[in-house]
Amino acid sequence: MDLSTTYLGLKLKNPIVPSASPLSRHVDTIRRLEDAGAAAVVMYSLFEEQQHLESLQLDHYLEYQTEAFAEALTWVPTEPQYKLGSEEYLEHIRRAKEAVQIPIIGSLNGISCGGWTRYAAEMQQAGADAIELNPYYVATQIKDTAQEAEERVLAITREVKGRVSIPVAVKIGPYWSAMGHMASRLVEAGANGLVLFNRFYQPDLDLEALEVVPHLTLSTSEEMRLPLRWVAILYGRVPADLAITTGVHTYQDVLKGLMAGARVTQMASELLQNGIGRIREILVGLSTWMAEREYASVVEMQGSMSQQNVADPAAFERANYMKVLHSWRPDPAGQLFRAMLP
């Protein structure tokens, strides 16, 4: 049985790729991911803001209150060189490449054009096989238009593409007015692949402290349906490799992703929650399922349930909404309703 797939021009032994997460922070863990069967690893993200912040913060504390008080003209010894986040990250890619055979995909997270995108080139020099660009942008400025928001992401995609010769996938969020058009423009801008979707962490409110607090929850399989829909819609319509991320927990999720049209399925929550060994189990489940149903290869099923290949394309459109509504019946015991109350 052939589980192999191609993604961003990379030949992968199977469609399971750990997504950007703390799992890639240590070379040992990356080695364990490979041993468990991961086909490639997306590194944790190098954040634009982190680079800026580290640099500015270091500068601030090296300078703060210096040359002001006669007895303490400086406060800390100076180093001939500092390894800011990027150097550590690049060194990490180098070490990871040395440690494993599978492709290593560097992850770059930022939202402005400018000097920092050189890290893409440096990732390539460090040995990254591809770049996953994550232009995570929340348009909080009320005057910002949708067009400006799109342009911002497109511009940075173009800039990163201009800096590297390795493939670039763009990881995007679902909140575009016209996802299909945006997807095609990203491809025009140079994206070799699209990763659907970035799962934004949403802040929460702490009622005791009356504070806004960051809130991190792991995904569930339920959350996969949004990217599933869009992979199915985009498959065959945009000339780019599609990847599903968010909500991939089981071999069934992997199968669904592939059938919708994904070249690979990325997972993190499942591995964080239940261990790296889950990759092996999922691969066994995948193989077993394919054997039982006599699928010879993964490629065979890729896109088989995309919008253009299913009997009822409207199932992915507004008509599906009507269908869901009509399928709902009042809950006589009122349990569902009560459960929805806060």
Binding site for other proteins (CB under 8 A): 51-52, 54-84, 88, 115-116, 210-211
Q: 254: which DSSP letter? A: H
Strand ordering across the sheet containing 130-134: 16-18, 264-267, 241-244, 193-196, 168-172, 130-134, 104-109, 41-47
Strands 5-7 and 10-12, how do they pair? antiparallel
Contact 160, 108 (CB under 8 A): yes
Q: How far is the CB of 117 from other proteins (least distance, A)?
A: 11
Residue 88 or 144: the one with the smaller Cβ distance to other proteins is: 88
Q: How far is the CB of 60 from other proteins (least distance, A)?
A: 8
Residue 55 or 287: the one with the smaller Cβ distance to other proteins is: 55
Q: How far is the CB of 80 from other proteins (least distance, A)?
A: 6
Contact 228, 261 (CB under 8 A): no
| DSSP assignment of 13-51 | SSSEEE-SSGGGSSHHHHHHHHHHT-S-EEEEEEEHHHH
Q: How far is the CB of 57 from other proteins (least distance, A)?
A: 8
Residue 61 or 201: the one with the smaller Cβ distance to other proteins is: 61
Residue 57 or 308: the one with the smaller Cβ distance to other proteins is: 57
Closest CA to 323 of 312, 338, 308: 312
Q: How far is the CB of 311 from other proteins (least distance, A)?
A: 54
Residue 49 or 188: the one with the smaller Cβ distance to other proteins is: 49
Q: How far is the CB of 20 from other proteins (least distance, A)?
A: 20
Residue 77 or 334: the one with the smaller Cβ distance to other proteins is: 77
**Cα–Cα distance measured from residue 301 to residue 14, given in angstroms and rounded to the nearest whole number:** 13
Q: Which residue carries 């942008």 as its tokens?
A: 137
